[in-house]
Structure 1
Amino acid sequence: MKKIFFIILIILFSPSIVLSQAKKEKNVTANSNDFFSKSYDYVNDFEKIMNADQITTLSNTLKAFEKKHLYKITVVTTASIAPYNAFPDYALELDKYLAADPKLDPTILIVVSKQLRQIQVQSIDLIRYKLSDSDTQSIITTYAVPEFKKGDYSKGLELAVEQIMNKLKTY
């Protein structure tokens, strides 16, 4: 009788032990997107390096370009890339995060950090025949960086975006 009672107890409590799980704490890791902003527009100046008029002008330019040519260009400024260690990793994960939402999915994502002195351009593979990596690098070094060195991030972004749009209009 004791054996049967013991076996019944083991059977009753075994599933609850096997099926119960400890509650895990939610950590922000390099693979987690919890730290990205929930809303994005054409120009997202999280680092506050442009004034309201500059943001509006660039946003209107990008919006009009998307309506006419169907290429969405998104600009993001950020002072920090934590928890990432490398700027390209941050930009790639941000691009993946934005691509998950069809309303936000950019054709080209430009990520800039004045504080970290970094710029990264992410683009979809389908436009590589119009805008190669070397084209992008040339545009950034020729148009954006000289203005960034003068402290005029808005003008640098405006010139770089204008050149990227010109490349995308061709063909």
Structure 2
Amino acid sequence: MKKLFFTLLLLSSVLLSAQTKNDIDFASRLKSTFSQSTDCVNDFEKILKPEELKALNTTLNNFEKKYLYKIVIITTPSIEPFQSFEEFATDLDQFLSKDPRLDPTLLIVVSKTLRQIQLLSVDFIKYKLNTEDTQNIISTYSIPELKKGNYYKALEQASNELIKKLQ
């Protein structure tokens, strides 16, 4: 499945040391991580409170049931063994696409530690939500809140705006 992607840097790029990519280790770690979870929000960086996580999951699950578009949000403290955030998000999206329970229509990957956000979407929603729309939503609703450190509000507002566009 072809994916459309773009990257927004939140504040500044973090220089990453050269790392070697080991696809087998990454795939096995992802498989063990996601084999038990089909939630829309996976907070591996632990930046959301339990009630925030529950509220965001409820919103996204209800939207998926009604419109059949799955929005998945993943927070991560590290992109190891990858060299770039974009590469990490793209490979993560490809991995999730292999399982119908996890396959996202929109994938939002956020890292507080790395100060980056990436949004990937499938091509078939382009007529409802193009690159300019997604970039505008992230820039207008997420980035100001992320700069303030309010990750829940940033993700909630972006999700609500994406939902409005996809309805």
Q: TM-score range by the shorter chain?
A: 0.7 to 0.9
Aligned residues of 1:113 and 1:119 also touching (Cα < 8 A): yes
Deviation at 1:79, TM superposition (A): 0.3
Match of 1:15 in 2: none
1:29 aligns with 2:25: no
The equivalent residue for 1:3 is none
Which structure 2 residues correspond to residues 20-59 of structure 1 after superposition, within 5 A?
Answer: 29-30=22-23, 32-36=26-30, 37-39=33-35, 40=37, 41-59=39-57
Report the residue type matching 1:120 in the other structure.
Q
SS of equivalent residue, structure 2 residue 114: coil
Structure 1 unaligned blocks of 5 or more: 1-26
The answer as to 2:102 corresponding to 1:104 is yes
What is the SS of the residue equivalent to 1:33? helix
How far apart, CA to CA, are the structure 2 residues paired with 1:90 and 1:35? Answer: 13
Higher strand share: 2
TM-superposition CA deviations, 1:47-83 (whole Å, max 9, x none): 0000000000000000000011110001000000000
Residues of 2 paired with 1:134 and 1:34: CA distance? 35
Structure 2, unaligned runs of 5 or more: 1-19
Mapped partners of 1:42, 1:88: distance in 2: 20
**Deviation of the 1:158 alpha carbon:** 0.2
CA positional deviation for 1:35: 2.6
Moved over 3 A (4+): none
Find the structure with the greater CA-based Rg.
1
TM-score, normalization by structure 1: 0.80
For each residue in 1:124-155, what CA deviation from the matched residue of structure 2 results, as whole angstroms up to 9, or x when unmatched?
11001111111111100100000011110000
Alignment length (residue pairs): 143
